[in-house]
Amino acid sequence: MATANVKIQAPAAGHSAPKSVSKATGSVVPLLTAKTSRKAAVGFRTIYILYIGIAAFALCVGLAIAAGAGASALTLAPGEDQPGATFHVNAFIDWLVIGGLAILLPYGIMADRQARITADIEARLPDFLRDVAEAGRFGMTLPEAIIVASKGRYGRLTDEIKRMASQLEWGVPVAHALTLFQERIDTPLTRRVVSIIIKANEAGGNVADVLTMVAHDTRETQLNEEQRKITMLTYLTVIYISFGVFLATIIIMATTFLPQMVTAGAGLQSSSASAAGAGVGISIQFIPAVFLAFLAAVIVHAVGDGMMAGVIHSGRISEGMMHGGIMLAVGWAFMRFVVPPVVLPS
């Protein structure tokens, strides 16, 4: 059943601001005092997620130092370091990666969710402007046209439009109601559109024509942005494919080339030891360092390629953090649980 709002008599001096009462839920919704920005509330949560991630990274740095110094309880994959190693590099890197994931993934995912919500809200804004313009062509004033258009459905934008219409019904000036609407939504496109509408209404003339042009311009801007994202999606796919090829190259070398080097080096060392004089051999003690170089290269490529992919696709560093976190998690898990470590013969 649709929710209906019942008007309340204007309060006397000293009373609270007008409110609307929902018949369906009985909830009371403030009309004039709700200046809280939706984006500010979400942004508040998002920035604190980043702060928590930074604190988690600092904790993981301490755990990484302890694990590298030899705390066996903090070693995630025992036995990967060579016998007699004084510093456990693998355990140290593991905890650093976990700390990096604590920064990149939660903040990146939350910021990307916020950006998607903003895009959903802005996508319906041209429809609302077009409906207001059509109502204005029938001789209605701007407040009357907004009230009539508020009866439509505009997705996530519907509740805020209905709240603005309720404010106008209570006699709030249209410029102030639009400003409150812009403060609650608080997206770049909304700020630009509301500013144009307020200036056009103050200047007088045919506001309906202005709204029509603003709606058309807004829709064209959104279509251009969607077209750009579709074009950049190709580059995003190429970055992920190249990262996958890089991982495939590493596992081929780790399963075929490096073991053969260890075998050949051990054979040359044994033959040189049995023969008189010095022989030619391969220093296989440095081969495990090659595996660590692969791991470091995967981490650098994951974070760098992911950041670049997000910035190319949407122009936002937050999306780059999300892609960087995803590629870092995949690359680290691949190196830890798929690629076999190089172990020297005893």
pLDDT of residue 134: 87
Residue 27 lies in a domain: no
Bridge partners for 17 per DSSP: none
Residue 1 lies inside a defined structural domain of this protein: no
Query: Is the pTM here over 0.75, yes or no?
Result: no
Confidence of residue 43 (pLDDT cuts 50, 70, 90): low
Domain membership flag for residue 7: no
The larger pLDDT score, comparing residue 256 to residue 204, is at 256
Alpha helices in 204-286 (DSSP H): 207-252, 258-274
- What pLDDT is attached to residue 104? 93
Please give the mean pLDDT across all residues of the chain: 78
- What's the rounded mean pLDDT across residues 142-163? 87
- pLDDT band with cut points at 50, 70 and 90 for residue 34: very low
Whether 45 is in a domain gets the answer yes
Q: Which two tokens stand for residue 200?
A: 């056009």
**Residue 272 confidence (pLDDT):** 56
Identify whether 145 is part of a domain.
yes
pLDDT for position 203: 80
Q: Is the model's pLDDT at 196 over the cut of 80?
A: yes
Q: Does any domain span residue 26?
A: no
Which residue would you say has higher pLDDT here, 344 or 336? 336
Q: Is 154 inside any structural domain? A: yes
The answer to whether residue 273 sits within a structural domain is: no
Indicate the number of domains in the chain. Answer: 1
Average pLDDT over residues 55-79: 78
Residue range of the domain that includes 98: 38-267+285-337
